[in-house]
Amino acid sequence: MEVDTNEQKQQLRYCDTTKIDAPRTLEDLINKLHKVFEDDEVNVEYVQKLMTSYESNRTDWKKFAKFDRHRYTRNLVDEGNGKFNLMLLCWNESQGSSIHSHANSHCFMKVLDGSVQEQRFEWPNQSSDEQTQMKYIETQKFKKNETAYICDELGLHRVENPSHSDKAVTLHLYSPAFDECQCFDEKTGHSTSSTVTFWSKFGERTPYGKCCAPVDMKCAENN
């Protein structure tokens, strides 16, 4: 899956962001995403605006919104005809991810409820054994209905719910889907391979053991 950013825009069926028909429901958004990802290439800006134009309605997504007291959860919503994975991430107050990469995939993150904060970092020098503090780039905050985008070329990030009183829910699209990424230690830049898991799939709790074994739980990451 090639994701176009500039010169090939004209040849794509879905590239004109002024002609986006706002999805009325989450189901409508999913159907529209299936059409966009039928093509071999997609336009990042188009997907971002399409996701933004859906006005979040809790009734549409509440069956997928499952929280865990100890860590944020990843809940699979749709497998995108093999082109992408769409999932709900549920963040209790102050929960956050580690610093992680995206396995050469494209990551779109739309806020459905609350707000989230993203901190970006540069890739550490992985050819050196030297342990140095990772270079921080910037922090951005995303409010309800806004959509963020990241890929490995833009760096690494950590996402968190900065609120001490409100939960947050985000809708993530990864293309292509992946089940392993790298997690980084901010102080040393050291990375570990991490298998990503689902807390639930299609609204049903993933059976314990099935989703995790033989994953090292210390490294299992909900990115």
Whichever of 45 and 152 has its CB closer to Fe ion, that residue is 152
Smallest gap from Cβ 172 to Fe ion, in A, equals 7
Region 88-147 residues binding Fe ion, contact defined as CB under 5 A: none
Identify residues 194-223 at the interface with Fe ion (CB under 5 A). Answer: 223
Q: How far is the CB of 175 from Fe ion (least distance, A)?
A: 13
Go through the chain and tell me how many residues it has.
Answer: 223
Burial class, 123, CB count within 10 angstroms (exposed 0-12 / middle 13-18 / buried 19+): middle
The distance of closest approach from Cβ of residue 150 to Fe ion in the complex, given in angstroms and rounded to an integer, is: 6
Shortest gap between Cβ of 223 and Fe ion (angstroms)? 5
Choose between 182 and 223: whose C-beta lies nearer to Fe ion: 223
Q: Which residue is nearest to Fe ion (CB)?
A: 223
**102 annotated binding-site participant:** yes
DSSP state of 196: B
Select 31 or 139, whichever has its Cβ closest to Fe ion. 139
What's the first-to-final CA gap in the chain, in angstroms?
21
70 is in an annotated binding site: no
Closer of 95 and 223 to Fe ion (Cβ):
223
| DSSP states along 96-160 | B--EE--TT-EEEEEEEES-EEEEEEPPP-TT-----PPPEEEEEEE-TT-EEEE-GGG-EEEEE
Question: Taking each helix axis from N to C terminus, what angle separates 44-53 and 26-36, rounded to the nearest 10 degrees?
Answer: 170
Amino acid (one-letter) located at 43: N
The verdict on whether residue 106 carries a ligand-binding annotation is no
Give residues in contact with Fe ion (CB under 5 A): 223
Positions at the binding site for Fe cation: 100, 102, 157
